[in-house]
């Protein structure tokens, strides 16, 4: 554990009284709990700087811890107030990350330490406790020293330095009271004895060499070095040593006057640390930093400032703010406005500014400026910060453009789209959603989908949004709404932890697709129920489809022929005619009809009629050929039977008709010769009529036998033969 001089922390030691100021009750509660876990701290909480000031007026506190960001009076203003009215009470300021300028200002105003918020609470408060102990110990040590010096001054007026005289072998011959008091040793224990405080080995050697280098011509030297006190603490001393020589030029005595310069060394070290801190912060900062005093002289700057503005060495070496300004105006898009604003800020010492500066080369620089005020309201000048935000501005513009294009794309989509938050409230919708619902966009946002679309107070059964929340993946279903069919799909949106936080709800109009599918189903049913073979053929001659009648007609299944060339069903005889018709269609002509002989499975051939017609796509381009094939086997058989019937009928009619012909010819000769009487002629005619009737009866009997015995005779022939 660290130990601190003038910091009693043993059992029964009084607790350090700490005033903790923060406008956040939770921080105050947490800080009080952490600090008071250490029995050496007693914490009083104040919710504002004003409340803290009231407490300081009525109570004593060993240290103050204050947040920077507070309403009414922030931490810097509070620190300034404390330093003006409560002198050197230890003050620690708590800042956020990225507030280095606040840290610098606080240190300049006399803050002892600073802490940044965030990180591990144990580490944070351990650091705070360490800094509190250190700052209080430092203050008490300073107070103790001041009190000690006051006591010494009362004893020996104006005597604050320790004086000694010693021989070359180190034997002291004189020491004053200040010397004794400082080393806490009695005078009689020093005089006549060799005495030397504990000095670091390297310093002891150096001091010896310096003392040995003194001459009668140069007998005095001043040296500074640390010593280790009896309690183990280290103190710094400054000694002025004079060598006294005899006439032979030999040293016979040294006279030394010393003083404790620990506080000065600590102050110098603190200044060096602050300067190092500021320099490091400046040189590692992304910002260009320029500090100018009240007379326009440049006090400091960093390399980033030179880089951003491209300032030549000869200009910056002048340390003149006016000279530097003269080298940058030609680079600005509006130099007049820039110079006017700079002059205005120097004229209005209390004003801060945060602006953008545009360069001719397209760069954009963010400029921040604030006055520097010290104690007693003294104005020290102005600090300027410059940051190149060109890429950020470009990114912002790209984001803005992307957002515009995204919105345009979103609104250009013809499908209604909704974006939901997890509870189903619509966060956004596109124009298509507004059109289909007949509701303005501003009346859609903030409502639930089921309220607008279904008119219900809760989600309907089967809603894809509800199932998506359960499954965690995209869900969809079909919905008939306003006499149209839609496919409704919900896609989940996840956060970094994999939790569904939003969803995209898309309504795709599939009415035409669904009706087309129904139409295709009806056409497929018609094709499958047709007695004719219906096949489709691609432009390269491959069979693409094959209905059930084609399977029966050719004795091939669809799997056996689809993908094969159509010549698989052609005979050598039918190939030329088929290919000529196919070629004609490919040239753009219309339907081709014909009859041919086709080839079924097992080398079986059959007579068939075919009709080839073009198939065109939506653009009217030829995409294939449709072939309708009818088996003519039964028709050909009926035709053959009809020929046989006619032949047989002709044979049966030939002789009786010839006899009737001859008898009628004889009757005609007899009538012409007037050899027959009227009754005889009538008799002969009745005989011939009876013979003709017999022929008709015989013919009808033959017709009946053929018709009833051959069912495959076409209907038209059967009606004719039966008529």
**Per-residue pLDDT tens digits for 269-287:** 888 888 788 778 777 888 9
Q: Is the pLDDT of residue 122 over 50?
A: yes
What are the phi and psi torsion angles at 590 (to 5°)?
A: -90, -155
| Lowest mean pLDDT, pick from 40-49, 312-321, 458-467 | 458-467
Residue 708 tokens read as 């009833």
- pLDDT computed for residue 310 by the predictor: 92
Pair 129, 43: CB distance under 8 Å: no
- pLDDT computed for residue 372 by the predictor: 92
**Per-residue pLDDT tens digits for 58-92:** 999 999 999 999 998 999 999 999 988 887 899 99
**Per-residue pLDDT tens digits for 243-269:** 999 999 999 999 999 999 999 988 888
- pLDDT computed for residue 1 by the predictor: 45
Quote the mean pLDDT of the chain. 84
- pLDDT computed for residue 646 by the predictor: 65
SS (H, E, C) 459-499: CCCCCHHHHHHHHCCCEEEEEEECCEEEEEEEEEEECCCCC
> Distance between CA atoms of 53 and 78, rounded to whole angstroms?
9
38: confidence class by pLDDT, cuts 50, 70, 90:
confident
> Distance between CA atoms of 89 and 108, rounded to whole angstroms?
15
What domains are there in the chain, each with its CATH number? 16-152 (3.40.50.2300), 156-267 (3.30.450.20), 285-393 (3.30.450.20), 413-514 (3.30.450.20), 530-631 (3.30.450.20), 637-722 (no CATH)
* Nearest residue to 50 (alpha-carbon basis) of 23, 30, 86, 24: 23
- pLDDT computed for residue 222 by the predictor: 92
Between 121-155 and 25-36, two packed helices, what is the crossing angle to 10 degrees?
70
* C-alpha torsion sign, points 244, 249, 251, 256: positive
- pLDDT computed for residue 2 by the predictor: 52
Mean pLDDT of 706-722: 56
Mean pLDDT of 404-413: 88
- pLDDT computed for residue 688 by the predictor: 74
Continuous segment of H or E residues that includes residue 611: strand 604-616
> Distance between CA atoms of 81 and 93, rounded to whole angstroms?
14
* Nearest residue to 479 (alpha-carbon basis) of 468, 470, 490, 492: 490
- pLDDT computed for residue 9 by the predictor: 55
Pair 501, 494: CB distance under 8 Å: yes
Can you give the pTM of this predicted structure?
0.41
> Distance between CA atoms of 666 and 655, rounded to whole angstroms?
17
Rg (CA), the chain: 59
149: confidence class by pLDDT, cuts 50, 70, 90:
low
Q: Is the pLDDT of residue 239 over 50?
A: yes
Mean pLDDT of 210-239: 91
Q: Is the pLDDT of residue 524 over 70?
A: no
Express as a percent the part of the chain with pLDDT over 70: 89
Q: Quick count: other Cβ atoms within 10 Å of Cβ 216?
A: 14
Express as a percent the part of the chain with pLDDT over 90: 27
C-beta pairs of 352-356 under 8 Å, 24+ apart in sequence: 356/389
Q: Is the pLDDT of residue 596 over 70?
A: yes
Q: Quick count: other Cβ atoms within 10 Å of Cβ 239?
A: 19
156: confidence class by pLDDT, cuts 50, 70, 90:
very low
Supply the DSSP symbol for 320: B
Continuous segment of H or E residues that includes residue 636: helix 633-673
| Lowest mean pLDDT, pick from 131-140, 180-189, 695-704 | 695-704
527: confidence class by pLDDT, cuts 50, 70, 90:
low
Mean pLDDT of 320-328: 89
Supply the DSSP symbol for 565: B
What are the phi and psi torsion angles at 426 (to 5°)?
A: -75, 120
Pair 358, 333: CB distance under 8 Å: yes
Q: Is the pLDDT of residue 312 over 50?
A: yes
Identify the residue with better confidence: 620 or 716.
620
694: confidence class by pLDDT, cuts 50, 70, 90:
confident
Mean pLDDT of 173-198: 89
């Amino acid at each position: 554990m660290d130990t601190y001089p003038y910091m009693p922390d043993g059992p029964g030691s009084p607790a350090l009284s700490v005033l903790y100021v923060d406008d956040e009750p939770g921080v105050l509660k947490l800080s009080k709990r952490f600090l008071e876990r250490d029995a050496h701290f007693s914490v009083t909480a104040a919710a504002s700087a004003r409340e803290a000031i009231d407490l300081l007026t009525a109570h004593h506190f060993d240290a103050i811890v204050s947040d920077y960001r507070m309403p009414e009076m922030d931490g810097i203003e509070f620190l300034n107030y404390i330093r003006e009215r409560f002198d050197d009470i230890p003050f620690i300021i708590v800042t956020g990350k990225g507030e280095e300028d606040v840290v610098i200002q606080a240190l300049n105003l006399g803050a002892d330490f600073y802490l940044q918020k965030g990180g591990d609470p144990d580490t944070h408060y351990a650091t705070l406790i360490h800094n509190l102990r250190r700052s209080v110990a430092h203050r008490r040590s300073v107070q103790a020293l001041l009190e000690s010096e006051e006591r010494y001054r009362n004893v020996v007026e104006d005597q604050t330095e320790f004086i000694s005289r010693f021989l070359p072998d180190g034997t002291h011959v004189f020491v004053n009271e200040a010397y004794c008091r400082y080393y806490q040793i009695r005078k009689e224990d020093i005089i006549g004895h060799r005495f030397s405080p504990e000095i670091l080995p390297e310093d002891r050697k150096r001091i010896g060499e310096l003392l040995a280098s003194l001459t009668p011509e140069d007998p005095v030297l001043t040296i500074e070095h640390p010593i280790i006190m009896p309690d183990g603490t280290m103190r710094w001393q400054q000694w002025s040593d004079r060598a006294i020589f005899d006439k032979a030029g030999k040293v016979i005595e040294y006279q030394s006057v010393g003083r404790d310069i620990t506080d000065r060394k600590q102050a110098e070290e603190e200044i060096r640390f602050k300067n190092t801190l500021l320099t490091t912060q400046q040189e590692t900062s992304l910002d260009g930093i320029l500090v100018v005093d009240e007379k326009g002289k440049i006090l400091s700057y960093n390399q980033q400032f030179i880089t951003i503005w491209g300032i030549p060495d000869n200009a910056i070496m002048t340390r003149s703010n006016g000279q530097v300004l003269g080298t940058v105006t030609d680079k600005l898009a509006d130099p007049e406005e820039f110079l006017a604003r700079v002059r205005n800020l120097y004229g209005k010492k209390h004003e801060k500014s945060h602006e953008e500066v545009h360069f001719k080369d397209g760069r954009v620089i963010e400029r921040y400026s604030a006055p520097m005020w010290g104690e007693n309201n003294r104005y020290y000048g102005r600090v300027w910060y410059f940051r190149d935000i060109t890429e950020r501005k470009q990114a912002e513009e790209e984001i803005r453009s992307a957002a515009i294009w995204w919105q345009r794309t979103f609104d250009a989509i013809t499908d209604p789209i909704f974006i939901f938050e997890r509870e189903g409230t619509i966060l956004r919708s596109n124009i298509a959603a507004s059109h289909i619902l007949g509701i303005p966009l501003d009346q859609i946002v903030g409502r639930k989908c089921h309220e607008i679309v279904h008119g219900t107070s809760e989600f309907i059964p089967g809603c894809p949004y509800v199932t998506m929340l359960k499954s965690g993946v995209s869900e969809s279903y079909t919905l008939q709404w306003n006499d149209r069919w839609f496919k409704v799909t919900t896609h989940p949106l996840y956060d970094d932890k994999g939790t569904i936080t939003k969803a995209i709800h898309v309504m795709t109009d599939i009415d035409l697709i669904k009706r087309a599918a129904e139409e295709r189903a009806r056409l497929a049913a018609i094709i499958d129920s047709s007695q004719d073979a219906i096949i489709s053929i691609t432009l390269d001659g491959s069979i693409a489809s094959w209905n059930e009648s084609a399977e029966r007609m050719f004795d091939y299944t669809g799997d056996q022929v689809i993908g094969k060339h159509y010549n698989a069903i052609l005979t050598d005889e039918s190939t030329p005619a088929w290919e000529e018709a196919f070629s004609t269609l490919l040239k753009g002509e219309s339907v081709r009809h014909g009859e041919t002989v086709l080839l079924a499975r097992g080398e079986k051939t059959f007579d068939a009629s075919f009709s080839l017609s073009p198939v065109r796509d939506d653009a009217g381009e030829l995409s294939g050929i449709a072939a309708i094939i009818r088996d003519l086997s039964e028709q050909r058989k009926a035709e053959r039977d009809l020929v046989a019937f006619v032949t047989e009928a002709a044979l049966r009619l030939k002789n009786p008709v010839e006899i009737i012909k001859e008898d009628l010819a004889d009757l005609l000769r007899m009538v012409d010769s007037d050899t027959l009487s009227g009754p005889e002629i009538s008799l002969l005619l009745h005989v011939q009529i009876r013979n003709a009737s017999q022929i008709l009866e015989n013919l009808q009997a033959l017709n009946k036998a053929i018709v009833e015995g051959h069912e495959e005779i076409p209907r038209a022939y059967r009606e004719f033969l039966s008529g």
